[in-house]
């Protein structure tokens, strides 16, 4: 079953007499407190518009206080791209004259993510988010300084959890690594390399393995399963949850396979090799895993019917060092009840912690895909809600 720029141009200023509203104050470095942008409005007459200085923000984040325009630049030559709504969190890059140069994360009205200019009067301070995502390659360092020693590089798309300790545009952060179960590091990250992920911050915290949860509890089982995202920029990314799940399961048994090759195999079995938006059937995914040298378990009871899995059977397979790939209803997963997509999806169940399960989700646009949590009751619902004959269908993968 199927699973599921606006780039600002800096315009050189023409030499002419202009009147510029120059906001001399800079953003308050409040360490997480929220309030209006601080500044003194002063009228300055300049012979060259380039005299308006660029000011480095002393905090990383702001929020739109009302509907406002997004602009191509900061000066009188700038063109308006459109209007965006209030309460959108943006990352501050530069302040100049009456505008702020920001990274805008996009919205549901067709405005794509990108770097744009926004009137500073329409912004208010925003605290550091608990969850942030690298919007470009950046680094976790030992101290809040670009010259500090590097702890670990962060690739574009990696998620960090902030601890609440900040230094201006820097924050102390926790990063969960997929090299080994429960492996993590702490360090400092520059806000200029980050963006706020889509999804409610409080809700994200309910389905993530957090720093606190890993310190206070130990999973009974957590298999080593390196993460693979289906959102890889390819033309079939939106429908690639099945091959991405199989790729993770194969990694768990020491077999690394290109995602495109696994998808090609699955679509060949389905006799639609050129379909970009076709999902993949669970029986074909199991066949692909076996074609690549893994063993699969309990897909069927007989040649004509799928096995109906219980949660106890999933626990039993995990305790035997086998990951489980169930077919689930996408909307039934944590944090997804309001999404537009109403079809099925694949995830990789990799561990047990108390009455909850740990899973890897090939979709990582709404939070870290690696090390998610789902309650037994929610997993039961998600599997039972899968389409028709595929309700409660799954297969285990091992050596």
Question: Is residue 25 over pLDDT 50?
Answer: no
**Cα dihedral value 96, 102, 107, 111, nearest 10:** 60
Are both 236 and 265 inside the same structural domain? Answer: yes
Confidence class of residue 51 from pLDDT cuts 50, 70 and 90? low
Confidence class of residue 322 from pLDDT cuts 50, 70 and 90? very high
285-313 pLDDT, tens digit each = 999 999 999 999 999 999 999 999 999 99
Nearest to 10 by CA among 85, 97, 91: 97
Are both 147 and 267 inside the same structural domain? Answer: no
256 CB-near residues (< 8 Å, 6+ apart): 250
> How many domains, the chain?
3
- Average pLDDT of the segment spanning 61-88: 94
Whether 50 maps to a domain, the answer reads yes
Q: What percent of the chain has pLDDT over 70?
A: 87
Question: Is residue 18 over pLDDT 80?
Answer: no
Are both 107 and 138 inside the same structural domain? Answer: no
Mean pLDDT of the chain, nearest integer = 87
Whether 4 maps to a domain, the answer reads no
- Average pLDDT of the segment spanning 257-261: 93
Whether 173 maps to a domain, the answer reads yes
pLDDT score for 274: 72
pLDDT score for 200: 86
pLDDT score for 272: 78
- The three state secondary structure string of 183-236 is CEEEEEEEHHHEECCCCCHHHHHHCECCHHHHHHCCCCEECCCCCCCCCCCCCC
Question: Is residue 121 over pLDDT 80?
Answer: yes
The Cα 119–Cα 59 span in angstroms is 17
The residue from 90, 125, 160 where one domain ends is 125
359-384 exposure pattern, b = at least 16 Cβ within 10 A, e = fewer: bbbbbbebbbbbbbbbebebbbebbe
CATH of the domain at 58: 2.30.30.170
Counting beta carbons within 10 angstroms of the beta carbon of residue 312, is it exposed (0 to 12), middle (13 to 18) or buried (19 or more)? exposed
Whether 166 maps to a domain, the answer reads yes
pLDDT score for 162: 97
The Cα 128–Cα 26 span in angstroms is 17
pLDDT score for 20: 32
Are both 238 and 365 inside the same structural domain? Answer: yes
Higher pLDDT residue, 289 or 113? 289
28-45 pLDDT, tens digit each = 333 333 334 433 233 333
Question: Is residue 399 over pLDDT 60?
Answer: yes
200-236 pLDDT, tens digit each = 899 999 999 999 999 888 999 999 999 999 998 888 8
Are both 258 and 365 inside the same structural domain? Answer: yes
Give me the domain span that covers residue 360: 221-398
Whether 255 maps to a domain, the answer reads yes
Choice among 52-61, 171-180, 240-249, 300-309 with the minimum mean pLDDT: 52-61
Whether 9 maps to a domain, the answer reads no
- Alpha helix ranges (H) inside the chain: 201-206, 211-216, 241-252, 259-270, 282-291, 311-319, 376-384
Are both 121 and 135 inside the same structural domain? Answer: no
Are both 227 and 337 inside the same structural domain? Answer: yes
Confidence class of residue 16 from pLDDT cuts 50, 70 and 90? very low
Are both 268 and 393 inside the same structural domain? Answer: yes
132-181 pLDDT, tens digit each = 999 999 999 999 999 999 999 999 999 999 999 999 899 999 999 998 89
Question: Is residue 50 over pLDDT 80?
Answer: no
pLDDT score for 316: 98
CATH of the domain at 170: 2.30.30.40
Question: Is residue 329 over pLDDT 60?
Answer: yes
Are both 85 and 135 inside the same structural domain? Answer: no
pLDDT score for 30: 34
Question: Is residue 71 over pLDDT 70?
Answer: yes
Whether 8 maps to a domain, the answer reads no
Are both 146 and 25 inside the same structural domain? Answer: no
Whether 27 maps to a domain, the answer reads yes
pLDDT score for 147: 97
Are both 144 and 25 inside the same structural domain? Answer: no
Are both 284 and 360 inside the same structural domain? Answer: yes
8 A C-beta contact, residue 184 and residue 174 = yes
């Amino acid at each position: 079953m199927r699973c599921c720029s606006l780039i600002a141009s800096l315009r050189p200023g023409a030499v002419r007499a202009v009147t510029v509203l120059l906001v001399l104050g800079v953003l308050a470095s409040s360490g997480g407190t929220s309030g209006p942008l601080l500044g003194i409005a002063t009228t300055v007459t300049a012979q060259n518009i380039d005299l308006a200085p660029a000011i480095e923000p002393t905090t990383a984040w702001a929020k739109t206080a009302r509907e406002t325009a997004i602009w191509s630049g900061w000066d009188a030559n700038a063109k308006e791209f459109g209007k965006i709504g209030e309460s959108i969190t943006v990352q501050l890059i530069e302040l100049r004259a009456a505008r702020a140069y920001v990274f805008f994360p996009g919205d549901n009205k067709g405005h794509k993510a990108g770097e744009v200019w926004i009137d500073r009067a329409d912004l208010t301070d925003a605290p550091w988010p608990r969850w942030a995502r690298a919007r470009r390659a950046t680094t976790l360092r030992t101290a809040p300084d670009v010259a500090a020693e590097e702890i670990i590089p962060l690739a574009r798309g990696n998620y960090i959890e902030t601890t609440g300790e900040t230094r201006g545009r820097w924050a102390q952060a926790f990063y969960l690594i997929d090299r080994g179960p429960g492996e993590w590091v702490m360090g400092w990250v520059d806000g200029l390399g980050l963006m706020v992920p889509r999804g409610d911050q409080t809700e994200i915290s309910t389905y993530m393995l957090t720093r606190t949860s890993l310190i206070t509890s130990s999973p009974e089982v957590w298999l080593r399963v390196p993460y693979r995202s289906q959102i890889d920029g390819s033309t079939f990314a939106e429908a690639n949850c099945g091959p991405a799940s199989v790729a993770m399961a194969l990694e768990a048994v020491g077999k690394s396979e290109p995602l495109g090759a696994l998808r090609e195999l699955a679509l060949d079995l389905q006799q639609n090799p050129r379909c970009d938006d076709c999902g993949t059937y669970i029986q074909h995914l199991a066949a692909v895993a076996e074609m690549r040298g893994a063993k699969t378990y309990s897909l069927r009871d007989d040649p004509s019917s799928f096995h109906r899995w219980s949660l106890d059977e999933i626990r039993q397979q995990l305790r035997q060092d086998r990951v489980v790939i169930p077919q689930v209803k996408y909307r039934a997963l944590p944090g997804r009840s309001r999404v537009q997509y109403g079809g099925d999806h694949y995830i990789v169940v990799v561990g047990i912690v108390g009455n909850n399960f740990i899973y890897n989700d090939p979709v990582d646009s709404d939070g870290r895909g690696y090390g998610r949590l789902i309650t037994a009751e929610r997993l039961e619902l998600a599997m039972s809600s899968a389409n028709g004959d595929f309700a409660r269908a799954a297969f285990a993968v091992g050596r």
